């Protein structure tokens, strides 16, 4: 008896962006796959850096998939070349992706920052505050909450985030400087 291995594509067919689930027009490429002439693809950080240095990407629309241990600072000289950056959250408790997004925003990245992996409803508002603009959500309860417009997050914060915030000095609940 022969057991045949099957590959299961776990990439969601949609992404949560601007308050709605929309079809995902990006595809992840393995390091040994050829970058297609058209279409939007995510490359690993290592592959992107090699291809960028070699000048082989031309005008192709590419993004990178950042793993928790990747050095996001290596992408800073190339941010104007990237259309999107996906940041992986392999575990709910792994917060390195928050730091990656904050660093990208500090360096002026204006493209899509996408959270992928183990994303739960508790994280969505906090992810938005550090700069995430899109979310690949596979968790059923989180998907349902997003579709229903339910957001259990706090409405007041002590520190400003990366997006639109209440102007400094107008937060009566925030600590006053000494």
CATH number for the domain that contains residue 23: 3.20.20.70
pLDDT of residue 167 exceeding 70, the answer is no
pLDDT single digits (tens) 97-149: 999 999 999 999 999 999 999 899 989 988 998 999 999 999 999 999 999 98
Give the range of the structural domain holding residue 51, as residue numbers without chain letter: 14-148
> Burial letters for 64-82: b for 16+ Cβ neighbours within 10 Å, e otherwise?
bbbbbebebeebeeeeeeb
Specify the pTM: 0.79
Q: Is residue 96 part of a domain?
A: yes
* 143, part of any domain: yes
Q: Is residue 3 part of a domain?
A: no
Tokens of 146: 């997003």
Domain count across the chain: 1
Measured CA to CA, the distance from residue 94 to residue 100 in angstroms comes to: 12
154 domain residue, yes or no: no
Residue identified by tokens 């390195």 is: 96
Tell me if 156 is assigned to some domain. Answer: no
Are 101 and 113 a contacting pair, CB within 8 Å? Answer: yes
pLDDT digits (tens, 9 = 90+) for 52-82: 999 999 889 999 999 999 999 999 999 999 9
In angstroms, rounded to a whole number, what is the distance separating the alpha carbons of residues 34 and 30?
A: 9
């Amino acid at each position: 008896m022969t057991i045949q291995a099957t590959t299961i594509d776990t990439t969601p067919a949609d992404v949560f962006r601007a308050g709605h689930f929309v079809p995902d027009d990006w595809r992840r490429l393995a390091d040994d796959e050829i970058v297609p002439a058209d279409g939007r693809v995510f490359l690993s950080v290592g592959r992107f850096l090699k291809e960028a240095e070699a000048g082989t990407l031309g005008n192709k629309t590419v993004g990178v998939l950042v793993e928790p241990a990747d050095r996001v600072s290596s992408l800073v000289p190339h941010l104007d070349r990237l259309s999107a950056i996906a940041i992986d959250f392999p575990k709910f408790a792994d917060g390195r992706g928050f730091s990656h997004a904050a660093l990208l925003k500090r360096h002026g990245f204006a493209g899509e920052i996408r959270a992928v992996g183990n994303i739960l409803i508790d994280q969505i508002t906090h992810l938005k505050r550090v700069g995430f603009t899109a979310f690949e959500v596979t968790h059923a309860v989180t998907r349902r909450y997003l579709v229903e417009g339910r957001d259990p997050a706090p409405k007041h914060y002590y520190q400003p985030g990366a997006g639109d915030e209440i102007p400094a000095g107008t937060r009566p609940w925030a600590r006053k400087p000494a």
